[in-house]
């Protein structure tokens, strides 16, 4: 359980570590410590179901007095619930188990990609309480903002959600962020997002907004809801219109200097290969991505719902998909070898927007994988299990894990 606690805290820390401004905060700042300890208590209870104050003190290494103060604050704020006292026949006060109040707080996760907007509302226990989806064709901010507002209105209408307890919204989209010649350029990114930042969105939408790449959000979603829950070191390869990776290393999310770590789509795997919109040749996403698949199929533009069509390929299309699978497997095999040799991870998880049957065929064709330095038991490559909403779920986790989220302060103050 201690390990599980550590993972949760590190995940929480990793998310605020990815924000450059967080690095300027002194480690001795009492408000920071208080906020961090509060998140530690919430996450430890969340991971363990229910715990007494004594359990919490032991697992978090906080003093009983600190745990007692924080627990009191969180109970008053409605983030925790107290259960029936546990009587074990021993002397002393009966211990009161504490658990998460699912309705203590909510969070919204929004995924934007080339063809759609998916939004979910999750509660503090991580359960999905509402979902909505809108088709969208390579949405610019001008197109996406009204859709986000509509999605928020849809979710606001979900029965049982107290909107006053909303912590904020995680908004995720394809990367990279802020790279001249790559951001908003080419068919695998979204146009017009160069100048948009979280602060501007927050001012426009009137709620805390955290921005992240879709592949990073997918790694969070898989960590919380899928097969990576026990993994300390893994790479999540997200096959979207392009290709990105979420990196979870030493029990924490690694996002890099400018949140662009894991932009493996522009890793050159075929020198002198296919030209890429970034100006290079032979980038990985020119072989492993929906965009590369659509090109092999000869599908142009955005006519119809391409994702739905992919699930029922026949005739010439089925043959073209076979050709793509062979080409994609060749490039991906090399990429898995590079990622393992570079990062020494337990495993690579692959998922994304590809229909399940095509993804399974792609994974099957990767074997045998080339040798690498990896020395772990268990599968080297697994298909993600968090489901089609893995990105939106990861996005929804962002405000919940953010220690500096002012939403928490508002809830605590509201209860005072």
Residue 348 Cβ, how far from Zn ion at the closest point, in Å?
A: 21
278 binds Zn ion (CB under 5 A): yes
Residue 285 Cβ, how far from Zn ion at the closest point, in Å?
A: 7
Q: Select from 62-70, 104-112, 271-279, 363-371 the region that touches Zn ion (CB under 5 A).
A: 271-279
Residue 322 Cβ, how far from Zn ion at the closest point, in Å?
A: 25
Q: Select from 18-26, 201-209, 264-272, 370-378 the region that touches Zn ion (CB under 5 A).
A: 264-272
Question: What's the CA gap between 86 and 21, in Å, rounded?
Answer: 44
Nearer to Zn ion, 98 or 245 (CB): 245
331 binds Zn ion (CB under 5 A): no
CB 402 within 8 A of CB 16: yes
Residue 45 Cβ, how far from Zn ion at the closest point, in Å?
A: 44
Nearer to Zn ion, 166 or 328 (CB): 328
DSSP string, 21-63: GGGGS-TT-HHHHHHHHHHHHHHHHHHHSEE-HHHHHHHH---
Residue 267 Cβ, how far from Zn ion at the closest point, in Å?
A: 8
Residue 331 Cβ, how far from Zn ion at the closest point, in Å?
A: 13
Residue 4 Cβ, how far from Zn ion at the closest point, in Å?
A: 38
Residue 186 Cβ, how far from Zn ion at the closest point, in Å?
A: 8
Residue 183 Cβ, how far from Zn ion at the closest point, in Å?
A: 12
Binding-residue total with Zn ion (CB under 5 A): 5
264 binds Zn ion (CB under 5 A): no
Nearer to Zn ion, 285 or 340 (CB): 285
Residue 182 Cβ, how far from Zn ion at the closest point, in Å?
A: 7
Q: Select from 75-83, 132-140, 155-163, 259-267 the region that touches Zn ion (CB under 5 A).
A: 259-267
Residue 278 Cβ, how far from Zn ion at the closest point, in Å?
A: 3
φ, ψ dihedrals at 112, nearest 5°: -110, 130
Q: Select from 4-12, 53-61, 262-270, 373-381 the region that touches Zn ion (CB under 5 A).
A: 262-270
Q: Select from 62-70, 238-246, 266-274, 311-319 the region that touches Zn ion (CB under 5 A).
A: 266-274
Collapsing DSSP to helix, strand or coil, 109 comes out as strand
φ, ψ dihedrals at 134, nearest 5°: -130, 135
Q: Select from 51-59, 234-242, 282-290, 291-299 the region that touches Zn ion (CB under 5 A).
A: 282-290
Collapsing DSSP to helix, strand or coil, 413 comes out as helix
Within a 10 A sphere around the Cβ of 3, how many other Cβ atoms?
A: 10
Question: What's the CA gap between 114 and 242, in Å, rounded?
Answer: 10
Nearer to Zn ion, 150 or 280 (CB): 280
Which pairs with CB-CB distance under 8 Å and at least 24 residues apart come from 274-279? 276/186, 277/182, 277/185, 277/186, 277/187, 277/188, 278/181, 278/182, 278/185, 278/186, 279/181
Nearer to Zn ion, 116 or 280 (CB): 280
Name residues whose C-beta falls within 8 Å of residue 103's C-beta, 6 or more positions apart in sequence.
78, 123, 124, 160, 162, 165
- Please name which of 324, 275, 274 lies closest in space to residue 298, comparing C-alpha atoms: 324
Cα 181 to its chain centre, rounded Å, is 25
Nearer to Zn ion, 210 or 278 (CB): 278
Q: Select from 41-49, 145-153, 270-278, 360-368 the region that touches Zn ion (CB under 5 A).
A: 270-278
266 binds Zn ion (CB under 5 A): yes
Nearer to Zn ion, 276 or 398 (CB): 276
Per residue, the 3-state secondary structure of 336-380, as one string, reads HHHHHHHHCCCEEEEEECCCHHHHHHHHHHCCCCCCCCCCCCCCC
Distances (CA, A) of 130 to 21, 24, 73, 215, 248: 33, 37, 28, 22, 28
Q: Select from 48-56, 61-69, 275-283, 292-300 the region that touches Zn ion (CB under 5 A).
A: 275-283
Can you state the angle between helices 390-401 and 214-225, rounded to 10 degrees? 90
DSSP 264: G
276 binds Zn ion (CB under 5 A): yes
Nearer to Zn ion, 186 or 351 (CB): 186
Question: What's the CA gap between 79 and 416, in Å, rounded?
Answer: 13
Contacts with Zn ion, residue ranges (CB under 5 A):
266, 276, 278, 280, 283
């Amino acid at each position: 359980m201690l390990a599980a606690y550590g993972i949760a805290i590190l995940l929480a820390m990793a998310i605020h570590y990815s924000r450059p401004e967080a690095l300027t905060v002194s480690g001795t700042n009492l408000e920071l410590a208080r906020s961090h300890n509060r998140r530690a208590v919430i996450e430890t209870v969340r991971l363990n179901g229910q715990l007494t104050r004594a359990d919490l003190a032991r697992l978090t290494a906080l003093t009983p007095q600190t745990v007692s103060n924080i627990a009191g604050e969180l109970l008053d704020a409605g983030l925790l619930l107290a259960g029936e006292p546990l009587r074990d026949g021993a002397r002393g006060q009966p211990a009161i188990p504490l658990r998460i109040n699912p309705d203590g707080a909510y969070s919204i996760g929004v995924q934007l990609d080339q063809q759609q907007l998916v939004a979910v509302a999750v509660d503090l226990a991580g359960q999905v309480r509402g979902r909505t989806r809108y088709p969208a064709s390579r949405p610019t901010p001008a197109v996406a903002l009204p859709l986000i507002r509509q999605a928020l209105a849809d979710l606001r209408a979900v029965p049982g959600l107290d909107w006053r307890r909303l912590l904020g919204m995680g908004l995720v989209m394809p990367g990279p962020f802020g790279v001249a010649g790559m951001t908003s350029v080419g068919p695998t990114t979204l146009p017009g997002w160069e100048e948009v930042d979280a602060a501007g969105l927050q001012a426009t939408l009137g709620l805390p907004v955290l921005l992240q790449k879709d592949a990073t959000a997918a790694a969070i979603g898989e960590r919380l809801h899928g097969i990576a829950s026990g993994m300390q070191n893994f790479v999540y390869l997200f096959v979207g219109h392009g290709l990105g990776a979420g990196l979870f290393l030493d029990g924490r999310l690694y996002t890099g200097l400018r949140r662009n770590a894991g932009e493996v789509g522009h890793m050159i795997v075929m020198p002198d290969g296919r030209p890429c919109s970034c100006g290079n040749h032979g980038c990985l996403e020119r072989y492993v991505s929906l965009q590369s698949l659509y090109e092999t199929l000869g599908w142009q533009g955005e006519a119809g719902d391409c994702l739905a069509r992919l699930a029922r390929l026949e005739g010439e299309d089925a043959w073209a998909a076979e050709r793509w699978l062979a080409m994609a497997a060749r490039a991906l095999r090399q990429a898995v070898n590079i990622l393992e040799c570079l990062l020494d991870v337990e495993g690579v998880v692959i998922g994304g927007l590809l229909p399940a049957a095509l993804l399974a065929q792609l994974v099957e064709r990767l074997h045998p994988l080339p040798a690498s330095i990896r020395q772990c038991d268990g599968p080297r490559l697994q298909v993600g299990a968090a489901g089609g909403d893995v990105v939106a779920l990861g996005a929804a986790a962002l405000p919940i894990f953010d220690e500096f989220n002012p939403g928490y302060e508002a809830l605590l103050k509201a209860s005072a």
